[in-house]
């Protein structure tokens, strides 16, 4: 799986994403940095080590050096991508976001002053999409996020478990039965050993990440969390109050089960939810949607939603329609009336699937419990 946009694997490259790794390599006797990709490292104080190494063919992305060292490395053959001080994010970041990072300063400042909001405001400034420095920074950032997501799914806390996507409307309010059912779905999936992945936003997405996060908490604890959240039903009129209620739940129940959110600043008016422990936030919405589908090898559950969810159903259907039999993944639509009458995606999906390998991998159910049972069926 290649989530970072690379044209292919590069087995001879070595990614160095933290100072401990750099120091271990130097201590082990490294002499040549050819093929090293040093990413977002503060290398001040490592001038002696850098002078002792051959650096021709090394790449430094957004690193910090002692005075004069950058020019010296460049003259010796290193390729240096400079820090971009004019953008409110690190385009060379080596890890996914956490909620605490995107909402840094939440206890004392309004959402509009926090990193997530400031990045969105930067992205929608007039003419920003046509500026070379802005588009380059955004592209570098999305590449770095894809690379970090690839690392997380191959070796990190999301490794070794099938991932199930949960998609549904952002309009499900805290305190509603729909929100509680989406939370139950996330909880049941996590208890079955799946990694829960969502679009990372509010509504059903927040609820599914919440349920996964609290999968090891007893029923009384889950209800207490739902009650806390119900005091602020939605992110309008105040994202700050909405996010603080979620942060209070996380503070009360620390160390929850990991799950994934993949939101986008393209829909920056919808804030990321606080319960996805790992957040792969992109600027490019198309990349984000394709990656979410690619990751969900355990299938996708579609809760009631409107235009966005309908789009996601048929984007997934297209992947399954043209995919090899071995690559077809389950599609489970929850809510017969919703998907047969209100937004009749199910009849169209049945017509597309007829006679295809995906025909026996699409399901229409009424409850989230039934959805989980469907996913337990052998392929």
For the chain, the first-to-last Cα distance in angstroms comes to 21
- Sheet with 14-16: strands ordered across: 14-16, 36-39, 59-61, 79-81
Q: What is the pLDDT of residue 3?
A: 59
At 131, phi and psi to the nearest 5? -90, 130
CA dihedral over 130, 6, 36, 25, signed as positive or negative: positive
pLDDT recorded at residue 379: 75
105 phi-psi bin (left φ>0, alpha ψ -120 to 50, beta other): left
Give the 3-state DSSP-derived string for the chain, with helices as H, strands as E and coil as C. Answer: CCCCCCCCCCCCCEEECCHHHHHHHHHCCCCECCCEEEECCECCCCHHHHHHCECCCCEEECCECCCCHHHHHHHCCCEEECCCCCCCCCCCCCCCECHHHHCCCCCCCCHHHCHHHHHHHHHCCCCHHHCHHHHHHHHHHHHHHHHHHHHHHHHCCCCCCCEEEEECCCCCCCCCHHHHHHHHHHHHHHHCCCEEEECCCCCHHHHHHHHHHCCCCCHHHHHHHHHHHHCCCCCCCCHHHHHHHHHHHHHHCCCCCCCEECCEHHHCCCCCCCCCCEECCECCHHHHHHHHHHHCCCCEEECCCCHHHHHHHHHHHHHHHHCCHHHCCCEEEECHHHHHHHCCHHHHHHHHHCCCHHHHHEEEECCHHHHHHHHCCCC
For 5, phi then psi, to 5°, come to: 85, 5
Cα 345 from Cα 75, distance rounded (Å): 60
Question: 368, 248, 279: which is closest to 96 by C-alpha?
Answer: 279
Q: Which two tokens stand for residue 75?
A: 């003259």
Instruction: List all residues 6 or more positions away from 243 whose beta carbon is below 8 Å from its beta carbon.
Output: 103, 106, 111, 235, 271, 274
Q: What is the pLDDT of residue 348?
A: 97
**Residue 266 · residue 208 · CB < 8 Å:** no
Q: What is the pLDDT along the chain (379 residues), one digit of tens a residue?
A: 555 544 334 456 898 989 999 999 999 999 999 999 999 899 999 999 999 999 999 999 999 999 999 999 999 999 999 888 889 999 999 899 999 999 999 999 999 999 999 999 999 998 887 888 899 899 999 999 999 999 999 888 888 899 999 999 888 999 999 999 999 999 999 999 999 999 999 999 999 999 999 999 999 999 999 999 999 999 999 999 999 999 999 999 999 999 999 999 998 889 999 999 999 999 999 999 999 999 999 999 999 999 999 999 999 999 999 999 999 999 999 999 999 999 999 999 999 999 999 999 999 999 999 999 999 988 7
For 127: left if phi > 0, alpha if psi spans -120 to 50, otherwise beta; the answer is left
CA distance 235 to 243: 8
Query: b/e for 31-49, b at 16 or more Cβ within 10 A?
Result: eebbebbbbbbebeebbee
Alpha carbon separation from 317 to 90, 302, 311, 357 (Å, rounded): 35, 12, 10, 11
Nearest to 166 by CA among 215, 122, 206, 117: 206
Instruction: Give me the pLDDT at residue 85, please.
Output: 81
Cα–Cα dist 327/324, whole Å: 5
Q: Quick check: 247 and 184 in contact, CB under 8 A?
A: no
List, in sequence order, every residue forming a beta bridge with 164; answer none if it has no partner: 196
Evaluate the omega torsion of the peptide bond into residue 237 and state whether it is cis, within 30 degrees of 0. yes
């Amino acid at each position: 799986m290649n989530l970072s946009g690379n044209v292919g694997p590069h087995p001879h490259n070595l990614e160095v994403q933290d100072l401990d790794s750099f120091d271990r390599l130097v201590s082990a006797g490294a002499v040549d940095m050819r093929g090293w990709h040093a990413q977002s490292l503060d290398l001040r104080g490592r001038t002696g080590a850098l002078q002792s190494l051959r650096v021709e063919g090394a790449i430094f992305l957004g690193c910090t050096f002692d005075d004069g060292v950058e020019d010296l490395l460049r003259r010796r053959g290193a390729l240096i991508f400079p820090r971009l001080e004019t953008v409110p994010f690190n385009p060379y970041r080596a890890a996914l976001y956490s909620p605490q990072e995107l909402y840094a300063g939440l206890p004392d400042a309004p959402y509009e002053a926090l990193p997530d909001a400031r990045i969105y405001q930067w992205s929608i400034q007039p003419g920003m999409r046509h500026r070379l420095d802005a588009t380059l920074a955004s592209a570098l950032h999305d590449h770095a996020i894809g690379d970090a997501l690839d690392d997380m799914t191959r070796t990190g806390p999301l490794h070794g478990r099938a991932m199930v996507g949960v998609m549904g409307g952002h309009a499900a309010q805290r305190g509603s039965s729909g929100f509680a059912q989406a939370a139950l779905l996330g909880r049941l999936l996590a208890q079955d050993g799946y990694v829960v992945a969502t679009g990372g936003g509010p509504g059903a997405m927040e609820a599914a990440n919440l349920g996964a996060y609290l999968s090891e908490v007893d029923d009384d604890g889950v209800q207490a969390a739902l009650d806390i959240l119900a005091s602020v039903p939605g992110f309008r009129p105040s994202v700050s109050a909405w996010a603080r209620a979620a942060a209070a739940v996380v503070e009360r129940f620390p160390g929850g089960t990991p799950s994934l959110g993949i939101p986008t600043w393209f829909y920056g008016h919808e804030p990321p939810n606080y319960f996805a422990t790992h957040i792969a936030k992109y600027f490019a919405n198309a990349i984000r949607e394709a990656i979410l589908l690619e990751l969900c090898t355990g299938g996708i559950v579609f809760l009631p939603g409107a235009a966005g969810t309908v789009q996601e159903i048929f984007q997934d259907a297209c992947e399954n329609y043209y995919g090899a039999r071995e690559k077809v993944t389950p599609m489970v639509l929850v809510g017969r009336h919703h998907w047969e009458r209100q937004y009749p995606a199910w009849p169209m999906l049945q017509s597309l699937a007829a006679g295809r390998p995906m025909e026996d991998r699409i399901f229409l159910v009424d409850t989230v419990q039934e959805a989980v049972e469907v996913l337990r069926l052998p392929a």
